[in-house]
Structure 1
Amino acid sequence: MKSSSRRLVLVLSLLLALCAAAGCASKKAAQAPLDPEDAPLPQIADPLEPWNRFWFGFNDVFYMGLGKPFSRAYTTVLPKYARDRIENAYSNFLFPARFVNAILQLRPDKASRELGRFIVNSTFGLGGLYDLAATKPGMGPQTLDFGQTLGVWGVGHGFYLVLPILGPSSLRDGVGLAFDATAQPTTFLPEAPYLLTLAISGAGRINRIPETLDVYEELKRSAVEPYSAARDAYVQMRAKILEDAIRDAWVRTHSQ
């Protein structure tokens, strides 16, 4: 139980950090979002570039040397139908983290949608193997993570990070990954330690390897300098997710 208490302290510490950022967030929430054509291209500091390039090279060798042959064998053994069932079940497992982040973003509409999706998919969808909720209008999958939550409350990226195996990230989103893992109920059960949460997350990520490799190889083929291209693509992708969340919240606030 001591380990569970330490994890709870970590969660509370992160929540306090989030609350400390609320002052900055209140100013941002009061402003109308920029038009996409007027918004500057997102940037991120990269003071650890030599270190990041080392891990980028390591990941490239891992992806091409181990990931690619594994992907071929995996897709041969498991057809897309089976992989989709695993993906749905994994997404259903991540419900608690998305639900908590919807609440932290002060989005009761998103929280209720997540709860509805979880109930429908866990019961009629056979434990999440089938995403039946997505067949209903407005009940499709949502992107909700703690890195996004911190961004909504005004916390910047910090600096760019390339994580071993996981790939592009940032200081903010790296903290977000740790929080989202901690938010899973399995983390706090004595008979299901934190390692079980990591194992389930690892299995979910392994199931995504074929699609991830397709995107990575396309980036390598089209980019003159893959490291910079991967960094820029990551920052732009996260900026788009954050922009949509802020714009959605602004529209909701000003439509009431």
Structure 2
Amino acid sequence: MNKQFRLVIFAIMLFGVANYAMAGETAYERQRNRLIDMIQADVRSTSYFLGKDALDEKVLQALRKVPRHEFVPEAQRPNAYLNRPLPIGHGQTISQPYIVAIMTDLLELDENSRVLEIGTGSAYQAAVLAEVAGSVYTIEIIEALADQAARDLKRLGYDKVQSRAGDGYYGWEGAAPFDAIMVTAAASHIPPPLIKQLKPGGRMIIPVGGRFTVQHLVLVNKDQENRITSRQLLPVRFVPLTGDR
């Protein structure tokens, strides 16, 4: 009887340890799922500006999969799944998840898409892009951030992302043309080199405006005849695009 009792106690202890480990493994996953619910609510509330009231399922799956907590400083990990930007050092931020979601969605990517990102920052956005696109090229002007991003992308297995330090205003001519371009810093105008590096039929999403003026997210389209059209979407707030210009 005592032996049976000890076996029962041992089994209960093992069950408890297993549950504890499972809870630890899924805590971030549960937080991501709650975050996605908030993002979807924000999309519905801004549907007038976006022209849609739901995100593509591929984008939702990417948000569920990418570990945002791995792309923020240790001190910010408790805040990793809040729906807001967070500081990452050097005066820069990791974008609000809602903004990451809509910018990714509006590019209408698929598994064959070749994407250029300007402003790597923490590399979280690049990782999300890698989940829905075929290949991602990303440029960061702050060398320390570019180096950290490259290490994190390699550590987390994002082999589809190529990154480098440089001035994103001029794009990545050696890897062009691109099916889509995403700019994650506000420019006073749409950089002509990026327009040139966009494929016919391609899309660009970029915040346009100054540091102390209203910025707007702008969706740029290049048709098959290389004609450019743009549509202003919603007001946003980004750090400025910097460089020697």
TM-score (norm 2): 0.26
Larger fraction in strand: 2
TM-score (norm 1): 0.25
With a CA cutoff of 8 Å and minimum separation of 6, indicate the structure with the bigger relative contact order: 1
Larger fraction in helix: 1
